[in-house]
Each structure stands twice: as C-alpha cells, then as structure tokens.
Chain A
C-alpha cells in the first residue's frame, strides 16, 4: 500500500483565511521531512492568492440578467436549493506551546443538504472548529451550526443547524453510484472563497485507491475528475443525473502533474453513513498486516504453490492488530470471504477487480473476514474479527484534540506523532527512526508513547540541559517509561532526585526534585504555562465542559 502523493492540496479555505497574517496555516512555510516514501506529507493548504479579494457578485456580475432568455435548465436541478456555504473558525493546536490555544484561522468550504436533515461536508472543513456558520443562497442570514459526526479517516463530516428555519425550502440530495469512466460530472462549491455558487464540469478520469491526505495514512477509493476544483470546493457535491456521485475533497498540483482533482465516491460516503447509524463513528477497520504479491515463479514453487496465479504472502503482522494472533509471517492468503485472491493482490468483487483491502474497507468494527490460507503448505481456514489498529494513529494527523504533554522543571515532554514532527521538524536520526519504524518494527510494544524531550523553557535549574533535547525517555529512577502517564506518575513521586535515562548512550538527565519544585511556579509564570500537563487526548469540546476551570481555551 503505497502512500505516494506529494503536496496534495485540501480544497478548503479561502482568501479570508490567508488575509489573516497572524494565523498562518499549519506547516505552510516549513517543508515536511522528505523521507524516502513521503509518508508524512502534510495536507498543504493552497498558496495564498495575493490580491484576490472575495468575489463580490455586485462588482463582478453587471446587471445583464434580463438579457438571458430562457436560460438552459440546470441538468442536475437547482443545486442552490441544496448547497450551503460553510464558514469555520478553527484553532490549530500549537505543538510547540501545547498549553496554548493555538493559531486561530477562518476558512470557507461547501456542503450539501441530505436527508435527516443534515449537511454533508469534508472533515477538513470542520476540523478543529470552534465556531461554525452556514449560509444558503438567497438568504442573508448566517446560521450557527454544529458538527454531528466527523470521520477524519475518510475526510467526511455531517453537520446540522438547530434553527428550524434553515432547512425550510432546502432540497436534500440523493446519492448515486460510481459514475462511469469518461462520463460527465459537475462540481459545485465556493472556490477561492466566493460568495456565490460556482459550477465546473469535467469527466471521470480514473477510479483508484488514493491516499486521503487529511489523515495522511488512510487510503480509500477515490475518483479523479477533470472538473476544475479549487480551495473552497471542499465538501461540495459532484453531481451526475441529479444525484450526488462524490464529494470534492483534494487536488494535486506539483512537479509531476497539475490540476488533478479528486472526489470521495459514494461507496465511501455510504459506508460512513452506515457506520454512524448507531450514533457512533467506529472508524475504518484494518487487518494490521503487510503482504507481498506472489508473481515470481520460483517463489511460488518454493512455497509449494501451483502455477494458478493465486495468493499473496504475509510479510509483517502487526501484533496490536486484529491479525496479530491469527496470521503469521509467511502465510499465503488464498481467498478472502470466498473471493479468490490473485497473485497481484486483486480480488473480484461484484464483477470488478479491486485490491484485496477493498473487502475489508466495506466492513465495520466487529465484522469478521474469512481467510483460506496455506501455512507451511497446509490449508487452513481462519476468521479475523476486524478492528482499528491503534499504532497507526501515531503516524496520522490528529484533529479536534489537544496535544498531550508534560512540563516538568521547564522540560517539555511530548509523545512522538506526525503533528509533533511537523511542528519541530526534528532531524534527530533516532527520533526519525522511531517514527518511521514505530509500526513495522513493533516499537509500540515497548513504547506505546515514544516520549521526546522536545524543548526546554530556560531557567537556572535547567540551563545546562540543552544537550538532552530530542532525546527519548527510557527510564525514570530505574522504572521503564512506556506512556506519558507513566512519566507524569514518576514525576508525582517524591524522591530526592529524578534520574532520567534516555534511549542510547550518554549520561542520564538528573533533576533535583526540591530545586525543580522551587522553580516550578517561577517557570509557569515566566512562560505563561497555563497547565503543566495534558495526559488524555480528549476531544476539545468535552474538555470545554469537563475541564474548563483548569484548561482554559478559546
């Protein structure tokens, strides 16, 4: 499963977002660490449109309307009755000062009314949102809205407006299937922040698995279209024959290609809508394994396989995943749910050849898959109960949560994650290795949290400790530190000193507890450290009610 896209642009945001110089979008100026497989490419916001003010209909459309006689009928109906313009004020978590609110920005995306009545849009349109309004065509009011469900792993969200007025006269859209290659589709939205609906058309260019850059680790089916779509189209419907056939969500412009646009197809949308039927989004499930194709004739003979073009071989089984206790390295997977697996890892599903993970993609948490396998040349039938694989989350972007950290004696300890790497642009080879190989080398078994001393708030008690920056904590006073909680607990004890052993060679970092205690208040005040720790990755909204007394935020 490759993750190859470079610089894919999420089609959200508008001139407004960039008009605010004090709120630069995350990682715009910093280049992501260019690893060999580009796995940590963040969803880069589009370049700022210098001097491109939001389009004002009065200024750009002279009163020529009466001249238009018998305007051609919109082939998909009056989409204005279904389309909404979403404005989100969002707060980007600040991983360098994790106790702070973070940068506040505003962006515009699109959404459309579906039954319920609810509004569908992209997850990235409403991620990290603190205040959400929607507008509809022909209505001067802005309606406050709220997020009902958000699925960051497939970049979809449902929002709603509590005002009963809003949905009056709005027409819910229905969903179609996968449009045929070369068939025409139309995309609707508010590109570059315009206030009136924009329509572009194009054809279906390709139907393929793609990396969804919002999370940056999830790959699902996506449809490439030739319709021009731009930032502000995000969350807008792509229509054919008056049915929604996709949600515009990301594009690519770069060295290799330009103006490539993608939409989320209806199988992914329907899966999301099915998943939330029980009022809870369970996320995509996975097997938690890597495999290789079996196209080499010698390899097939070596494994005792006939020359029938069937089977793939299991390379690595992630212990924390559903396949962990069931499959083994070297197992040959012959069929999945009675669909024969071809040696190039494709299966035939409803008359289409799709990649094997597509079978798992369509399932839900708790569902089972049946594998027929060969283990040491013996046939076996195994069942795996599907679930999420938590270690993957370390390499994904996180939203709607507050960064986890512990500050002690001015030393900032944070668990390693994609967002953390992006914020610090760490070049330390050990930290990078622990990030890259967290899953495949099962580093998470010993270090569910890889705790990095990311930064030091200078104080007389820590002024000689700069050389320990970017070290990974191994032990405190002889006790292994596996999680951030372990670290917080260790610091809550009352020994004379803390001897913090780091991974690798070198002296431990030694702290005199009384000195640190004496310095604590001083450091808190000097650096305005509002809270010294946040151990749980709890949703921001929940925190607002549960912990507003101790952890203030916007």
Chain B
C-alpha cells in the first residue's frame, strides 16, 4: 500500500540517456503525430492504511503520472495510480493549468481507472484517443511521455509477445502485451500510454530497465473495461474460479478415461461459491472446450488474433459478467456441457481477501489485544518477500483457503499483536495467533468476535487460539478499564472498526 506498492509493482525507469531515438525509425513517426496531443498530467495524493496499526493511515504520498484522454471527457489511468487516493487533479501539459478530478470507475484487478475533471471543458483542445484493438506480435507501438515543457517524448517499441499473465493484485490472469522498448525516465512512471497509428494500444503495467522489457495492459482489456464502465454498476471482469492441470501424461489420460489423443485439461481447485461450481463443474472433469474454442492438453486455445493463448483469456477477457459461457467437459469419459453464467468475485467475497484499496481495515481492540481479519493486504506488510517472511501459518491459510475452508462464507480472525496494558501482563509475547472461539462461540468473522465479547462468562473473556497458548483469559472489567489507557498511551482514536 501507499508509497511502498509502486516500488514493487513498477520497476522505476532509470534515468536514460538524453539522446532521443525518435525519428530513427520510420514507423515511429507514423505511430503518433505530435501536434495532436491526447495526454495530460495526473497528480495524485493519497494515504494507505497501516495494517500493523489498523486505526491509522500512513503518511501521505504523491504520485505524478500521465492520463490518456478518451471521448466524453474521460481520462484513462492505471488503477494503481489512484489506489488509496485522497485527491486527484489533472494538469494541462502545455499550460500547467490544473483542475480537480474524480475517480468515476476503478478496477484494481484489471488495473484500470477512469477519471473525470470537474468541468469537462478542461479537456477542450485535446484529441480523444480511440482504441487500437488490432495489435499483434511484431507490431511497433510508441510509448508517450511528456517533457517538463509539455513537449512530447516518443519511444519506439516492438511487441514481442502477447500472453496471459498475472496483474499486480494477483487476482486472475489477463491478456498482456510484452514489449521490447528502451523507455526513458520522466517524472511520470504510471500510465505511460502506448499508441499505434495515433490510437491507444495499451498502458504501461510494469517495466524492467535491465532487460528493457515492458508489460502493458492491452487495448482489448481496456475495451472490456470501457464497455462495462458505462453500466450503472460496474461489475468487474469475470472470475475463473478454478485451476487446471495439463493432461499431456498418457497415464493420466487413461486414468481419466480419455481414450483419444484430443485436448482437454484436468479441472481442480474449484472455488466454493464460484460460477463454475454453481454450474456443476467438478474436480477431475476434463475441460475440452470453452465456448467454440477447443482447449489443448496444456490448457491453450487458438485465438483468432493472437494464436495460442491460455484458456483463461476466454473466461476473463472475452467473456463479460452475466454472459453464459458453455464449457464442454468429459466426466469419466462421458461428454457433457455446462453453461456457466460468469460472475465476478469481489475481494470481500474471499475467505482471505486478496487485496484491499480505498478501504480501512477492520479491527477490534479488546483490552490491548488487537484482533483483525486475515487478509493478503495484511500479509503484504512483510514486504516483497512476504511469502517467506510473514507468519508461515497465515501464508499457508491464505494459499490453501478454499481447500482448508470448503464451506466458504467465513473469515479467519487473528490476534495480530498485543499492546501492553495492565490487563495483558504476562501476555506481551503472544501474537500472530489464529482465533477459533471466544466465550465458547465459534469465530468466523470480526463481527462474530464483537458479538461474543458482549457476553463474558463469569467476568472473563475466554479467547481460544489454534496455536499455543490455546486459551487466553481476559478479565472483562479490567479490559474495559484499560480502554482509556489504550486510547491515550497508544494514540488510538477508536478501539474498533467493524465496517
């Protein structure tokens, strides 16, 4: 969150040489005609939440970026840019004129957001970009940046691959362009637009200055986002809801009853409550086709534009929420068809939420014990190596959440740490514990916990944990008596936030 996230999501562009390569290649001059400016600056200040001290926000950060001007007075940026924003303003590159803007639609999974200036007239004179939906491997595109003066900086790049990859919040996989491009440093590392023939081909997703490789959010993802964005309630991209395993191995094929040498992948890891589960997909089914596209033994299909692509693209990018997608499967060798009505799983519909933006974390402080709902956002507080550095039990719970909690519809409540007060003497070292029961009640959410602590037994709150020490009794009146101390000594304005 906050300023930390960009550092790990983006490899910031290293100060490049001043020699521009522009006009070197003929195609670059074709890609953009500089007099038609379609860019402006976007300045964002924001504050992330501190999951170790969930009652407070971090110190404010500010980011400077570019926005791509679209029709109807809309400005397209990456969602990362406006995550946890307090204030967004647009700035005309050529004049320096500024105006406050609002975030109209944001999708952190696809990493896209639409901004709108307070007054659409602010964009007068800027040429709205149309989408270039037809980029394929081998095409040249140009990255647009701005000089301090407002002059355009154009860098030529080559699309080397089109593939399905994870995006920064690591929910779902989406179509991505990979470019070979020598991007130069400017004070805007977010939302560098890519154009082809003066049309928007993509937005910068991440850049590695050593290999000079850029991943870009491609126009088809942007188009999908824009199409949904006009609906009254933005629904997001469909969630796949299962995992698959290749069936190349002839012994596995035989075992699964696949006699021919056709395609198909072994379905596993079906998320409880997902659209595919509702449609009846089962672990062990062999998925042979999605819609009209046959799936090979490795899980790829032949895309009309990009040739071989991961089948995920059919479900996340080509399909929309609400679409009926027929899945052809073999179950014990018998062909069947399942119609899946595509759904989006919002981050708060997971057991352990995969990401959180613009939303304050929940917490409940009882007599110095800080209770929280386990989330990946919390785990990410351990830094880029959180998989190794965060408490391993929590990493395990996150990784296997659907397997460990097949019933779904619950949260994992943790006792994250203890703020020493009189009532916690001797408990100071406890932390990173998984709460199972409080006062005899099963705890499946922080709300459960808030309700359970209303009913101490014989003057004690009895907290049970999965790990040692197993039981932590708290003197209920003492826990209340310690509340003013907690507020004053630790500067906690409110001892709970349940929404």
Contacts and interface: CB of A to CB of B under 8 A. Distances in A.
Nearest to A516: B251
Given A294-B426, A296-B426, A316 B468 contact: yes
A296 B251 contact: no
A50 B376 CA distance: 45
B387 A298 contact: no
Given A505-B283, A507-B245, A298 B392 contact: no
B423 A298 contact: yes
Contact of A505 (B255, B403, B473): B403
Interface string A500-528: 00001111111110010000000000000
B251 A510 contact: yes
B252 interface: yes
Contacts of B134: none
B322 interface: no
Contact of B425 (A33, A295, A430, A515): A295
Given A467-B245, A510-B252, A511-B251, A429 B425 contact: no
A301 interface: yes
Interface stretch (A224-232, A432-440, A483-491): A432-440
A1 B86 CA distance: 47
B391 A36 contact: yes
Contact of B251 (A295, A298, A440, A497): A497
A469 interface: no
Contacts of A507: 245, 252, 255-256, 266, 268, 284
Interface of A: 33-36, 290, 292-299, 301-303, 313, 315-316, 329-330, 343, 427, 429-430, 432-433, 436-437, 440, 464-465, 467, 497, 499, 504-512, 515
B246 A464 contact: yes
B490 to A, nearest CB: 19
Nearest to A316: B468
Interface string B377-402: 00000000001111111011001100
A34 to B, nearest CB: 6
Contacts of A515: 251
Interface in B435-484: 460, 462, 467-475, 478
A437 B404 CA distance: 15
Nearest to A508: B255
Given A429-B395, A429-B396, A430-B400, A499 B473 contact: no
B43 to A, nearest CB: 39
A33 to B, nearest CB: 7
A3 to B, nearest CB: 15
Contacts of B387: 427, 429
B404 to A, nearest CB: 10
Nearest to B477: A298
Interface of B: 243, 245-246, 248-252, 254-256, 266, 268-269, 283-284, 387-393, 395-396, 399-400, 403, 423-427, 432, 460, 462, 467-475, 478
B468 A290 contact: yes
Given A36-B392, A298-B460, A510-B252, A429 B399 contact: yes
B245 A506 contact: yes
Contacts of A330: 470-471
Nearest to A503: B403
B406 to A, nearest CB: 10
A432 B426 CA distance: 30
Q: What secondary structure prevails in chain B residues at the interface with A? A: mixed
Contacts of A294: 426
B460 A313 contact: no
Given A440-B467, A505-B283, A510-B251, A299 B426 contact: yes
Contacts of B254: 510
19 contacts: A34-B388, A34-B389, A36-B389, A295-B425, A296-B427, A297-B475, A298-B423, A315-B470, A429-B387, A429-B395, A432-B392, A432-B396, A433-B392, A437-B393, A440-B467, A506-B266, A508-B252, A510-B249, A511-B251
Contacts of B474: 298
B425 A296 contact: yes
A510 to B, nearest CB: 4
A548 to B, nearest CB: 37
Nearest to A2: B429
A497 to B, nearest CB: 7
Given A330-B471, A467-B246, A505-B403, A302 B460 contact: yes
A509 B252 CA distance: 7
B255 A510 contact: yes
Contacts of A464: 246, 248-250, 252
A341 B33 CA distance: 83
A433 B396 contact: yes
B271 to A, nearest CB: 11
Contacts of B471: 330
Given A298-B460, A508-B255, A429 B400 contact: yes
A330 B462 CA distance: 13
B478 A298 contact: yes
B344 to A, nearest CB: 23
A330 B464 CA distance: 12
A297 to B, nearest CB: 7
B470 A316 contact: yes
Given A302-B460, A429-B399, A429-B400, A315 B469 contact: yes
Nearest to B243: A505
Nearest to B425: A296
Contact of A506 (B268, B393, B400, B460): B268
A508 B255 CA distance: 9
Contacts of B391: 36
A33 B251 contact: no
Contacts of A430: 396, 399-400
Given A33-B388, A302-B460, A507-B284, A292 B468 contact: yes
A499 B255 contact: yes
Given A299-B473, A316-B468, A432-B392, 16 more contacts: A34-B388, A34-B389, A36-B391, A295-B426, A296-B426, A296-B427, A298-B460, A302-B462, A303-B473, A313-B469, A440-B467, A464-B252, A497-B255, A504-B400, A506-B269, A507-B252
